[in-house]
Amino acid sequence: MSEQIDMARVEELAGKVIGDVAGALSLYMAYIGDQTGVFEALDGAGRLTIAELAKKTGLNEKYLHEWLGSVSAAGYVTMHEDETFSLSPEQALIFAREGQPACMQGFIQAVVSQYEQHEKAVSTFASGEGRPWGDHTQCLFCGVDRFFRPGYEANLTADWIPSLSGVEGKLKAGAKVADIGCGHGSSTVLMAQSYPDSEFHGFDYHAPSIEIAKTAAHEAGVPNVHFHVANAKEFGGADFDLACIFDALHDMGDPVGAARHIRETLKDSGTLMLVEPIAGDSFAENMNPLGQIFYAFSTTVCTPNSLSQEVALGLGAQAGQKRLTEVLKEAGFRNVRRTSETATNMVLEVTG
Ligand SMILES: C[S@@+](CC[C@H](N)C(=O)[O-])C[C@H]1O[C@@H](n2cnc3c(N)ncnc32)[C@H](O)[C@@H]1O
């Protein structure tokens, strides 16, 4: 049977791919501008000529000419009729204001980190073998932290913890908290600062991340936080009032084993706060830009990490509340309820 090709559909798809290619390169340009301080130099500087921008940044005019052409065409920088360049307040928020919830540079850095190691990504995919978190580069670890931290600053103590039944009062009075898979420890330090009468323990199996977390806590002068290199299935301590996992359960090889260990280390009245990427319960429900993004990171980071560990469940970054609930119930927990959500995350209260 001869193949029927609908040329209108070919053109439509080709147009979409061209948009994606432009987007991929725009992210790369945004990363270069971030790392070399161009967005920062443009922020609040008004309209600058290329020569003025070169003088301000100490960068090569020829390179700036090409870079400005690309980012202006992308709409990341504003080009004026007289060929001067500026950042609008909105562009500044997205590209120049580190720490603002709207700043996308951490997200962009995490994407660039995956291109950086494209050969490893291809060989992992081809072999079907696992690839541990520590096999990625610092670019990913920093990008993930930069991306997640502003969301924690905006939501964690203002919304997520108050959404849990009876937990905020305990933390204010003095409680014991475990943050499992804490990475660079931004969530742990933030909670320790907000609840000075409570004691916080951050655990992660990636030793270099724990070193960074310890330094961050020391620099912030937070005395009530302690960081430990430990696997989620084996971390020490007991009688925790609250355990938290921020965007890490699906990265684990044995999320059931980890949740079971967490349950054993919690007080009977304790709560697990599980923060996971927001997702529906089926492929069909995740056919949107967020699904496109999370399934991609899951292909190169989360699932390989899980497959590199014992049990190798490979939950994936779009597991959805139904599948997560099955995992938590298999670990012995009885109650799972969604108490809050953002555009990217869901917050589950897990008890019993
Ligand atoms: C996506 S990062 C999230 C880090 C941090 N919670 C945050 O929100 O920025 C996932 C983290 O889970 C950690 N991790 C993965 N498997 C683990 C395990 N079995 N035990 C402890 N930590 C684990 C990784 O080392 C990594 O730091």
For the entire predicted model, the pTM comes to 0.95
φ, ψ of residue 184 in degrees (nearest 5): -80, 0
Q: Give the integer Cα–Cα distance in Å for 27 and 111.
A: 8
Distance 125 CA to ligand 1 centre (A): 21
> Ligand 1 pocket, 252 CB below 6 A?
yes
> Ligand 1 pocket, 247 CB below 6 A?
yes
Q: Is the pLDDT of residue 137 over 80?
A: yes
Q: Give the integer Cα–Cα distance in Å for 243 and 235.
A: 12
| Atom 6 of ligand 1, residue of closest alpha carbon | 182
Tokens of 274: 């599980």
User: What domains sit in the chain, N to C, each tagged with a CATH number?
Assistant: 7-97 (1.10.10.10), 110-351 (3.40.50.150)
pLDDT for residue 202: 98
Closest CA to 248 of 292, 282, 202: 202
Q: 25: how many CB neighbours lie within 10 A of its CB? A: 12
Q: Give the integer Cα–Cα distance in Å for 105 and 103.
A: 6
CB 45 within 8 A of CB 54: no
Tokens of 239: 């009688």
Distance 245 CA to ligand 1 centre (A): 8
pLDDT for residue 1: 66
Q: Which ligand 1 atom sits nearest the alpha carbon of residue 144?
A: 9
Tens-place pLDDT, residues 172-224 = 999 999 999 999 999 999 999 999 999 999 999 999 999 999 999 999 999 99
Q: What percentage of the chain has pLDDT greater than the value 70?
A: 100
Task: Categorize the per-residue pLDDT at 139 as very low, low, confident or very high, splitting at 50, 70 and 90.
Answer: confident
Distance 45 CA to ligand 1 centre (A): 39
Tens-place pLDDT, residues 26-85 = 999 999 999 999 999 999 999 999 999 999 999 999 999 999 999 999 999 999 999 999
Q: 268: how many CB neighbours lie within 10 A of its CB? A: 8
Q: Which ligand 1 atom sits nearest the alpha carbon of residue 306?
A: 16
Q: Is the Cα dihedral 173, 178, 181, 184 positive or negative? A: positive
Q: Whole-number mean pLDDT of the chain?
A: 97
Q: Is the pLDDT of residue 2 over 90?
A: no
For the chain, what is the HEC assignment? CCCCCCHHHHHHHHHHHHHHHHHHHHHHHHHHHHHCCHHHHHCCCCCECHHHHHHHHCCCHHHHHHHHHHHHHHCCCEECCCCCEECCHHHHHHHCCCCCCCCCHHHHHHHHHHHHCHHHHHHHHHHCCCCCHHHCCHHHHHHHHHHHHHHHHHHHHHHHHHHCCCHHHHHHHCCEEEEECCCCCHHHHHHHHHCCCCEEEEEECCHHHHHHHHHHHHHHCCCCEEEEECCCCCCCCCCEEEEEEECCHHHCCCHHHHHHHHHHHEEEEEEEEEEEECCCCCCHHHCCHHHHHHHHHHHHHHHHHHHCCCCCCCCCCCCHHHHHHHHHHHCCCCEEEEEEECCCEEEEEEEC
pLDDT for residue 138: 87
Q: In angstroms, how far is the first alpha carbon of the chain from the final one? A: 60
Tens-place pLDDT, residues 83-110 = 999 999 999 999 999 989 899 999 999 9
Tens-place pLDDT, residues 244-274 = 999 999 999 999 999 999 999 999 999 999 9
Q: Give the integer Cα–Cα distance in Å for 165 and 174.
A: 16
pLDDT for residue 37: 98
> Ligand 1 pocket, 68 CB below 6 A?
no
pLDDT for residue 118: 94
Q: Give the integer Cα–Cα distance in Å for 255 and 272.
A: 13
Q: Which ligand 1 atom sits nearest the alpha carbon of residue 253?
A: 19
Tens-place pLDDT, residues 296-334 = 999 999 999 999 999 999 999 999 999 999 999 999 999
> Ligand 1 pocket, 168 CB below 6 A?
no
Q: Is the pLDDT of residue 280 over 90?
A: yes
Distance 142 CA to ligand 1 centre (A): 13
80: left (phi over 0), alpha (psi -120 to 50) or beta: beta
Rg (CA), the chain: 22
φ, ψ of residue 240 in degrees (nearest 5): -75, 140
Beta strand 266-277 pairing with 345-351? antiparallel
